[in-house]
Amino acid sequence: MSETPFVMLAHLGEQLEGTTKRTELAALLAAFLRQLPPEEIPPAVRLTIGQVFPEWDGRALNVSGKAVWGVIDELTDPPDALRREVSAQAVDPGQAAGMLFEKARRDPPGPPPLTIVGVYHSFEAIAESSGRGSRARKEALLRELFVRATPTEAKYLVKVINQEMRHGVNEGIMLDGIAKAGKVKTRAVRRANQLWGDLGEVALVTLTEGQAGLERATLRLFRPIKPMLAQTAEEHAEAFERYGGQIALEYKLDGARVQIHRQDDHVRIYSRTLSDVTASLPDVVAEVKDKLSAREAIVEGEAVAVDAQGRPLPFQHLMRRFRRVHDVAATVLEIPVQLHLFDALYVDGRLLIDAPNTERWAALEGAMGGQCLVRRSRPATIEEAEAFAERAYRDGHEGVMAKELDSAYTPGMRGKSWLKLKHVISLDLVIVAADWGYGRRHGWLSNYHLAARDGDTGEYPVVGKTFKGLTDAEFIEMTQTLLALERSRQGSTVHVRPQVVVEVLFNEIQESSQYKSGLALRFARIARVREDKAPADAETLQGLRQLYDQQFRYKGQRI
């Protein structure tokens, strides 16, 4: 049987771009999947959503935009007018590539035509190229793809490489399409995907084995699953009301979420994004081997960097541990890490994700002998909850988590059973520049450069950026306001006179070498525009530095 041409997948992408209705998107996906032979289903599903490999797979393309556009520039010869047209009209790099291949290609596509499986194998080869000469090999493989690509295929090759499909199909809609294609219950497909973490495998089993194959899905050791996520709440009263008072509160730690898999002496640690970070955390591996009594287990928690007194360090110090691949032993001594566990998903043959939170916590306590657990409370009143949250802040942490006692664990879902209540800081800052958006925000200034006023010089040094907090209507209004204040442009950045004051919410102030101010806000978002305030009323850089220093009343600080 001949392989399915890649152009069919590209045409599917064009069809998907033509509708926003969920049912129509799912129907298009189902019709496409039904016509594929089994071996093509997994790669086709992954490529359709711009995901070459499952999230738990450690491979990555590691292809720069410069390399991609180097190949495109080699194969096209656009006049300046066309370059300007593409720059003005293209909403993403994929569309730009398609326009250039359509209007300015030097030569027609070469044989043989691209196929879905062939493209997928080329991407595998690109990802697996390493060592001396790997850059040249990657670029040669890219060139082989683009030489054979039609304009529409070029568009979707770039989209896959950038993981920016923009056709409205997210994971949930793809699961709907898979269920429709296999004529099975959607909840069975979703459940299998939660446990396997691979849309390609889920689709293959659905279309070849049906409901019976999906019902065999279970957790697999050393294949991490997506973490359960929390919604945000402002007040403890909301948690009490939502859960009828049946809640547990846990410290919300300023660390990195980790999922730990153990089978006998084999231990692997995975990050929130399912990356394997075991090599960076040998001390955590040793602690798990020493204190976790279960022979087989999957447990979750946070790794927190601490100072010599055991006080939590700012998050940026922990990231040094995660990024370090050489001299790890020295870094372990320089930046110690504490492990705080809060959930058990699997223990010695018991699948626990469907069990209530209380049962999972009891299993975790038993497996760990009460050690390395996050601080937890079951408050009877709102006053007790608020007192516990204040202790969390004074212990150097960023807030608390509220968890419904009888709730199950839902991998990858931001459900209603967990709420995060963070300690939030509010400051008035000035917008001094903004970046043009792309995709849905194409044509808007939507990434704002936030500045504090230097009380000594009168200048406005940048202390952070954010694109969060405004509605679409407010983005449009802000774009008009800032363009009227424009002073200069540099690339995609518009620099403006410092006149617009905004209230900014954030969780922490960090040291930063990125900004001349030396400081950066963490998790910044705009709460509102302060039309009642002038730039002279904004927070000063000196005040921000005082706030930075005050953080260390409770947090640790590396000397």
SS (H, E, C) 159-191: HHHHCCCCCCCCHHHHHHHHHHHHCCCHHHHHH
**Those residues with Cβ within 8 angstroms of residue 83's Cβ, 6 or more apart along the chain or in another chain:** none
- Cβ atoms 539, 554 nearer than 8 A: no
Cis peptide upstream of residue 108 (ω within 30 degrees of 0) = no
Is 291 labeled as catalytic in the residue annotation? no
Angle, CA of 6, 10 and 14, to the nearest 5°: 165
Q: How far is CA 304 from the centre of its chain?
A: 20
β-bridge mates for residue 420, sequence order: 232, 401
Tokens of 369: 């002998």
Q: How far is CA 281 from the centre of its chain?
A: 21
Angle between helices 41-48 and 116-128 (to 10 degrees): 70
User: Tokens 């209380």 identify what position?
Assistant: 358
Q: Which amino acid is at 477?
A: E
Q: Which of 252, 403, 422, 555 is catalytic?
A: 252
Phi and psi for 109 in degrees, rounded to 5? -55, 140
> 337-347 and 350-351: which strand pairing?
antiparallel
Exposed/middle/buried for residue 136 (C-beta within 10 Å: 0-12, 13-18, 19+): exposed
Alpha helix stretches (DSSP H) within 292-381: 315-323, 328-334, 357-368
- Cβ atoms 285, 303 nearer than 8 A: no
Which is nearest to 423 in space by CA: 297, 189, 143, 236?
236
β-bridge mates for residue 312, sequence order: 306
**Those residues with Cβ within 8 angstroms of residue 466's Cβ, 6 or more apart along the chain or in another chain:** 447, 448, 450, 504, 524, 525, 526
β-bridge mates for residue 455, sequence order: none
Tokens of 37: 């032979």
Q: How far apart are CA 519 and CA 517, in angstroms?
A: 5
Q: How far apart are CA 380 and CA 376, in angstroms?
A: 13
- Could you give the residue numbers annotated as active site? 252
